[in-house]
């Protein structure tokens, strides 16, 4: 089967987000039994990364610079025009920015059943803005309204709407008025188990690592509060690793600046380091080297890949009870969503020597589910 994946970013470079990581893993998992191609809407993919994907027989479609700079509806139009002259069987879109809008619209107006269109609900603009209670960040409000509209319509017109968690599936079910309830399905995040994955970690934690984008949404503020409480109320004084690409805090600072200010103001002289330009693989290697307890206190999330990566590597990992995270981690690894509870859970895991192997998530099961879905989505969704 010929499969095309369309997304705003592609994994394989430092700083890429969850959507790009998803594209990396899904493309490699599906390439085991399909002919897979990728279109990146928002940037040109460097030649060395194209070659790397090519080693797994994944083709990166060359796109003009005009596509990357175009506003969202025009991007969707260009992609639909390109697909007129292709023979893909199944096209998988990210929900972000509604890249599948014109393809879905043309299929409906022409009453065509091919190619199959799937949209994956990573977290569309309305979900992100309603959760974060943000004001419009676009300089042009019309551009914002256009993006929200085509995202929603694309999700409604898709043949299948996939969510990585029941949490997101429930949200989508109230937001998207698709008449076909069976078209909405939950498929956990795929994870390509390559031979270069490396050995699983096995250690008693000696340090603590924040693993994720350095921003308010990912819980960086709560993490810093918890660490300050840890140093003030216990005998633990572990080294702190901050691993992630900078984002914005509600104070108006970049996340790395926020950490430096908060920790530098503390009288306990917290030992910490910040790494903002590592790939996921490099970040995980540092976690192993420093024997870190991984903390992911995300305040608004679907099913973050940092959780998946930590499970696959068998890190000691703790998180909070938000979004789809409880569908991936055992309950004993999750605290209430406040700094006091998170601090207490970190103290417990810093003293643990036995790894918790009772993970709810299995990469093998997730990968097989995705393969089965692409192989025969209609029957898969009936099961």
Q: Which of 116, 122, 129, 117 is nearest to 163 (CA)?
A: 122
pLDDT of residue 351: 72
329 Cβ contact partners less than 8 Å away, ≥ 6 residues apart = 307, 311, 317, 319, 359, 360, 361
Count of all residues that appear for the chain in the document: 383
For position 136, what pLDDT does the model report? 46
Laid out side by side, the sheet with 239-243 consists of 272-275, 239-243, 207-211, 292-296, 317-320, 334-335
Rounded to 10°, the helix 18-30/363-375 angle is 70
- Distance, in Å, from the CA atom of 318 to the CA atom of 275, rounded to the nearest integer, reads 20
| The predicted structure's pLDDT at residue 135 | 45
d(CA 177, CA 174): 7
Residue 91 · residue 6 · CB < 8 Å: yes
To the question of domain 2-189+364-382 being in CATH 3.40.50.2000, the answer is: yes
Q: Say how many C-beta atoms besides its own lie within 10 A of residue 120's C-beta.
A: 25
Report the pLDDT value the prediction gives residue 139, as an integer from 0 to 100.
52
Distance in angstroms (rounded) separating the CA atoms of residues 149 and 151: 5
Count the neighbouring beta carbons within 10 Å of the beta carbon of residue 174: 7
Tell the residue number behind the tokens 């192993």, with chain if given.
288
* Assigned CATH for 207-350: 3.40.50.2000
Q: What is the per-residue pLDDT for 147? A: 82
Distances 12 to 198, 238, 355 between C-alpha atoms, Å: 17, 31, 29
What is the pTM (predicted TM-score) of this model? 0.90
How many other C-beta atoms lie within 10 A of the C-beta of residue 277?
Answer: 9
For residue 375, the model assigns a pLDDT of 96
| Distance set, CA 380 to CA 162, 165, 181, 300, 371 (Å) | 12, 17, 14, 29, 10
Find out whether 154 and 93 touch, Cβ atoms under 8 Å. Answer: yes
Whole-angstrom distance, CA of residue 284 vs CA of residue 286: 5
Q: How is the beta sheet containing 58-60 ordered, strand by strand?
A: 58-60, 35-40, 2-7, 90-94, 116-120, 160-163, 184-186
Are 2-189+364-382 and 207-350 equal in CATH topology? yes
Domain boundaries, the chain: 2-189+364-382, 207-350
Please list the pLDDT of the chain residue by residue as tens digits (383 residues): 999 999 999 987 767 789 999 999 999 999 999 999 999 998 888 899 999 999 999 999 988 888 888 888 889 999 999 998 889 999 999 998 899 999 988 887 666 778 999 999 999 988 887 766 554 455 566 667 778 889 999 999 999 999 999 999 999 988 987 655 558 899 999 999 876 565 567 788 999 999 999 999 999 999 999 999 999 998 888 999 999 999 989 898 999 999 999 998 766 689 999 999 988 889 999 999 999 999 999 998 999 999 999 999 889 899 999 999 999 999 999 999 999 999 999 999 987 655 555 678 999 999 999 999 999 999 898 76
């Amino acid at each position: 089967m010929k499969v095309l994946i369309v997304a705003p970013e592609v994994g394989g470079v430092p700083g890429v987000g969850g959507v790009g990581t998803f594209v990396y893993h899904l493309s490699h998992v599906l390439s085991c039994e399909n002919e897979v191609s990728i279109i990146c809407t928002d940037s040109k993919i460097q030649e060395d990364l194209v070659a790397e994907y090519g080693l797994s027989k994944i083709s990166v479609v060359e796109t003009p610079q005009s596509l990357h700079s175009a506003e969202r509806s025009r991007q969707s139009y260009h992609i639909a025009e390109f697909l007129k002259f292709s023979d893909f069987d199944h096209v998988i879109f990210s929900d972000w920015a509604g890249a599948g809008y014109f393809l879905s619209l043309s299929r409906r107006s022409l009453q065509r059943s091919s190619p199959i269109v799937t949209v994956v609900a990573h977290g569309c603009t309305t979900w992100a803005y309603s959760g974060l209670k943000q004001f419009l960040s676009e300089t042009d409000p019309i551009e914002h309204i256009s993006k929200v509209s085509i995202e929603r319509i694309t999700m409604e017109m898709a043949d299948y709407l996939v969510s990585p968690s029941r949490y997101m599936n429930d949200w989508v079910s109230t937001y998207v008025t698709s008449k076909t309830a069976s078209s909405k399905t939950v498929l956990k995040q795929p994870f390509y188990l390559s031979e270069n994955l490396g050995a699983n970690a096995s250690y008693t934690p000696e340090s603590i690592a924040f693993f994720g984008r350095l921003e308010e949404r990912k819980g960086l503020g709560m993490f810093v509060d918890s660490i300050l409480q840890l140093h003030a109320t216990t005998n633990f004084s572990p080294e702190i690793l901050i691993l992630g690409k900078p984002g914005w805090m509600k104070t108006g600072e970049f996340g790395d600046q926020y950490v430096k200010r908060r920790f530098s103001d503390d009288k306990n002289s917290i030992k910490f380091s910040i790494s903002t330009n590592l790939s996921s693989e490099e970040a995980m290697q540092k976690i192993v080297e420093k024997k870190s307890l991984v903390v992911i206190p995300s305040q608004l999330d679907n099913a973050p890949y940092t959780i998946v990566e930590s499970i696959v590597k068998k890190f000691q990992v703790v998180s909070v009870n938000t979004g789809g995270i409880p569908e991936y981690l055992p309950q004993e690894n999750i605290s209430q969503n406040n700094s006091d509870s998170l601090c207490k859970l970190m103290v417990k895991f810093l003293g643990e020597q036995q790894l918790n192997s009772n993970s709810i998530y299995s990469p093998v099961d997730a990968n097989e589910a995705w393969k089965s879905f692409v192989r025969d989505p209609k029957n898969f969704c009936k099961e």
